Structures are given as structure tokens and as C-alpha cells.
Amino acid sequence: MKFIYILFLSLILNFNVKADSFLKYSEFKELMQSDYNTAKWYIRGLLAGNNSHSIYGKITNPNNQKLYCPPKDLKLTIKLSIDIINEEAERLKKNSSENVEESYVPLLYIWGMQNNFPCK
């Protein structure tokens, strides 16, 4: 089963996006403008990867500290995920001297989820 899941993720991310590297925020914004469908597939892969990481953590270490804790009834949609990424990029622009355009999209997603849904 794990092999099938990994194969599925590889196929999803292998459209026009380099599956062997994370997109930077500047690349993601460009992809959103030039090929929105591929950008959605990239986000789907990101969501699937984060979900599989959470499931794996529960199986291998039930007391594992989660990265973020969204409400159980929250549906993590593509649109919500893109909004979280963009909001986190804006937050970092205001509160940091880092070049947000060079930040990796998966990290922006995780940081955004942590800011929106911190674990208690």
C-alpha cells in the first residue's frame, strides 16, 4: 500500500513541475498564472504528503508532536491551502527581512498551518 501511495504522489507531481525539488514562492506564483491546473496538482501533492506524514507519525509514534492541529471537521481544500500559503507569504513580508519569493512553498504551507492551527 505504501508503494502505491508513493507511486501516486510521484505521478501527480511529475506533470510540468520538477518532482525532485520544492517550488519557491516566486515559481509557484508564476505557475499559478501560467498553468493553474498544474499548480492545483502541486498543492494536491503537498496536501497528500502532509497527510501521509501525519498518518505515519501516528502509526510509528502515537505520542508524536504534530506540526499543526486543524479542527477535525475542517476540509483542507486546494483553495484553502493556496490561501494559507499566500497569507503566510504576506505575513513574512511584513514581519521579516527575508526574501519571501525564495521561500519554499511547502514551508510556507506548514508555517501558515502552524499559525492558523497551533497545537495546544
pLDDT band at 12 (very low <50, low <70, confident <90, very high): very low
Please indicate whether residue 12 or residue 108 has the higher confidence score (pLDDT): 108
**Given this model, what pLDDT does residue 94 score?**
93
Look at the chain and report how many structural domains it folds into: 1
- Which pTM was predicted? 0.72
SS3 per-residue string spanning the chain: CHHHHHHHHHHHHCCCCCCCCCCEHHHHHHHHHHCHHHHHHHHHHHHHHHHHHHHHHHHHCCCCCCCCCCCCCCCCCHHHHHHHHHHHHHHHHHHCCCCHHHCEHHHHHHHHHHHHCCCC
**pLDDT grade for 19, boundaries at 50, 70 and 90:** very low
Domain-embedded: residue 2: no
61 within some domain: yes
Q: Which range of residues forms the domain containing residue 55?
A: 25-116
- Summarised one tens digit per residue, pLDDT across range 57-100 is 666 666 767 778 889 899 989 999 999 999 999 999 999 888 99
pLDDT number for residue 66:
76
Q: Is residue 88 part of a domain?
A: yes
| pLDDT greater than 80 at residue 2 | no
In a domain, 31, yes or no: yes
